[in-house]
A and B are shown apart, each in its own frame.
Chain A
Amino acid sequence: ELKVEQNPLFLSMQEGKNYTIYCNYSTTSDRLYWYRQDPGKSLESLFVLLSNGAVKQEGRLMASLDTKARLSTLHITAAVHDLSATYFCAVDSSALRGGADGLTFGKGTHLIIQP
């Protein structure tokens, strides 16, 4: 069974600081996704990482994937209040020799950025 673990689950930080959210997963996969969810809203796709060593950046967010370590990171640079949200990583296991779990999500990182 694929397990996806995010840490930290809760993060309070100040504007202007840098921080990293980690996503570890238990089974080989080369497809990892990051989503953002605002309270009461749906999931917004941030990044799609499809190969080992993939790195993608959008504004103050940068995501990377190391399939050998089964680790993805979401790095926040010079945080601003608007980035406050819950961030989820999700691993696609359906390509794993008949895997049938769709996207397996981490529990999410609740991020609060204070002025």
Chain B
Amino acid sequence: KAGVTQTPRYLIKTRGQQVTLSCSPISGHRSVSWYQQTPGQGLQFLFEYFSETQRNKGNFPGRFSGRQFSNSRSEMNVSTLELGDSALYLCASSFDRDGTEAFFGQGTRLTVV
């Protein structure tokens, strides 16, 4: 059974650019959540999608956005990149939200220079 797949694994971008990260959940899972991990702030919730609808959103500026497609694959976009956006971005997949286990992908390591 394939796990959660995130692409790309590594990215280097310049300040002011934008970036799109992709997440393919486990087959049959309908919920996809995104998290940002940094040494200073730890793991922080970005947003959650279920059946192509954003259900929850964390406390991040509007530069961070996402979407989910009909096949449950999700993308997140960060516009006008800042140095502080450098982080490991993790995607989590679960069948549903009601206490079901969330499985994390390997993450995308974004470096903004």
List residues of A whose CB falls within 8 A of some B CB.
31, 33, 35, 41-45, 48, 50, 88, 90, 92, 94-95, 100-108
Q: Is the CB of A101 within 8 A of B56?
A: yes
Which 5 pairs show the lowest CB-CB distances between chains A and B? A102-B45, A105-B43, A43-B104, A100-B56, A42-B104
In terms of DSSP, what is the predominant structure of the interface of chain B? Answer: strand
Question: Which range holds the interface residue count of chain B?
Answer: 20 to 34
Looking across the interface, which residue of chain B has its beta carbon closest to that of A50? B99
Which B residues lie within 8 Å of A44 (CB)? 104
Return 23 A-B CB contacts under 8 Å, by A number: A31-B99, A35-B104, A42-B104, A42-B105, A42-B106, A43-B92, A43-B104, A44-B104, A45-B103, A92-B99, A94-B48, A94-B56, A94-B97, A100-B56, A101-B45, A102-B58, A103-B35, A103-B43, A103-B45, A103-B92, A103-B102, A104-B45, A108-B42
Looking across the interface, which residue of chain B has its beta carbon closest to that of A100? B56
Which A residues lie within 8 Å of B57 (CB)? 100
A94 to B43, CA, bound (A): 16
B107 interface hit (Cβ, 8 Å): yes
* Minimum distance in angstroms from B53 CB to a CB of chain A: 13
A41 to B6, CA, bound (A): 13
Which A residues lie within 8 Å of B58 (CB)? 100-102
Q: Quick one: which of B45, B101, B105 contacts A45, CB cutoff 8 A?
A: B101
A31 to B44, CA, bound (A): 17
A88 to B104, CA, bound (A): 13
Q: Is the CB of A33 within 8 A of B42?
A: no
14 further A-B pairs in the complex, CB-CB below 8 A; given A45-B103, A103-B45? A33-B102, A35-B104, A43-B90, A48-B99, A88-B43, A94-B48, A95-B97, A101-B45, A101-B56, A105-B35, A105-B44, A106-B42, A108-B42, A108-B43
